[in-house]
Amino acid sequence: MIYFNSDYTEGCHPAILERLAETNMEQTPGYGEDGYCAGAAKLIKEACGAPEAAVHFLVGGTQTNVTVIASALKHHQGVLTAATGHINVHETGALEACGHKCLALPSLDGKLTAEQVAACVDAHYADESFEHTVQPKMVYISNPTELGTIYKKGELEKLYRVCREKGLYLFLDGARLGYGLACRENDMSLPDIARNTDVFYIGGTKVGALFGEAVVITNPELKTDFRYHIKQRGGMLAKGRLLGIQFETLFQENRYFEISAHAARLAEKLKDELTKTGVSFYVDSPTNQQFPILPDAMLEKLKENYTFSYQARVDETHSAVRFCTCWATKEEHVNALLNDIRALQ
């Protein structure tokens, strides 16, 4: 069985395991206050062109989303998100369990526009009963989105400008950030993201680490007391150095970007080749998640050898499914998949 159902099916980049083995019996302070975390934070700040940023390491995505958002908001405030946003649909109400409403906005491509945000905030304050609704205070976006789409630099700049004008924080969930930055349609760099958000994170779990997400906070208001929130939300890893070692390894020798580029290239190959054979797509994703629309009969056959995830029914005989590539995907597996699809057409 070949797994294309997600981008967290393997372990981690071998260099990480080597470093874990080398350092295994060292004694270090706990809770992220060791030298490896400091070293990783330094590399990340450099990569982001953000020497003043605060960098914290957490274990997983849901935990990170909850910790960042809950640390930023007061009880009466909520977060704007695309209706398809991970926080709105795939975290078992983790954010609501912290007391905050997801203010979901419709989106066909998983992205929010500056205009949507501005209109929503304006509508809130225009309502004479505005205190009877949750105050919008943060915008949550992901890049790439749940649908694989990405923000162009101009879009992000515009969105951030609106956020500042309206007094909202902008938070970018980068669980798959490497795959967004590495794709051919991307025109943004890490420093662009650091300059155009208040806080974002660089995903490790899906991009070469065993686990781990690196939160980069550039807005000073959001830096204060952040570690209390990590602890309160259960994200303060006792052996915090495990996160430091992983991110240090990923940000050395350009690894994070190289392994992302590998996944991006294979996804592009998959997309291009399927397009050539006449396959259409549920959404035009430029990144490592591809959503082809395929005949149900073909999907039944493909299931025998491949895992993929179901996205949506398109018509009576076709469904959209999701294939993911990742840092560990083998080109021969992509080739095999393409051949099998062609053979079944």
User: Could you tell me how many residues of this chain bind a second copy (CB under 8 A)?
Assistant: 77
Closest to a second copy by CB, 11 or 154? 11
> Any contact of residue 100 with a second copy (CB under 8 A)?
yes
- For residues 117 and 58, the answer to whether their CB atoms sit within 8 Å is no
Distance CA 261, CA 181 (A): 8
Find out whether 210 and 42 touch, Cβ atoms under 8 Å: no
Helix axes 331-344, 255-276, angle to 10 degrees: 10
Q: DSSP class of residue 176? A: T
Please report where in the chains the tokens 């993201």 appear, as a residue: 193
* 108-147 residues near a second copy, rule: CB under 8 A: 129, 131-135
CA distance 14 to 30: 24
> Which of the stretches 5-13, 36-44, 263-271, 277-285 binds a second copy when contact is defined by CB under 8 A?
5-13
Reduced to 3 states, what is the DSSP secondary structure of residue 290? strand
Cis status of the peptide bond prior to 144, with omega within 30 of 0? yes
- Contacting range for a second copy; rule: CB under 8 A; set: 99-107, 138-146, 148-156, 163-171: 99-107
Closest CA relative to residue 304, chosen from 275, 340, 264 = 340
Closer by beta carbon to a second copy, 189 or else 335: 335
Among 56, 158, 176, 229, binds a second copy (CB under 8 A): 229
Stretch that binds a second copy, among 191-199, 214-222, 224-232, 282-290 (CB under 8 A): 224-232
* Interface stretch with a second copy, choices 62-70, 143-151, 160-168, 264-272 (CB under 8 A): 62-70
The distance of closest approach from Cβ of residue 28 to a second copy in the complex, given in angstroms and rounded to an integer, is 6
Shorter beta-carbon distance to a second copy: residue 152 or 231: 231
- Residue 92 sits at the vertex; the CA angle it makes with 233 and 174, to the nearest 5 degrees, is 65
- 237-296 positions binding a second copy, by CB under 8 A: 237-239, 242
Residue 91 contacts a second copy per CB under 8 A: yes
**CB of 113 or CB of 307, closer to a second copy:** 307
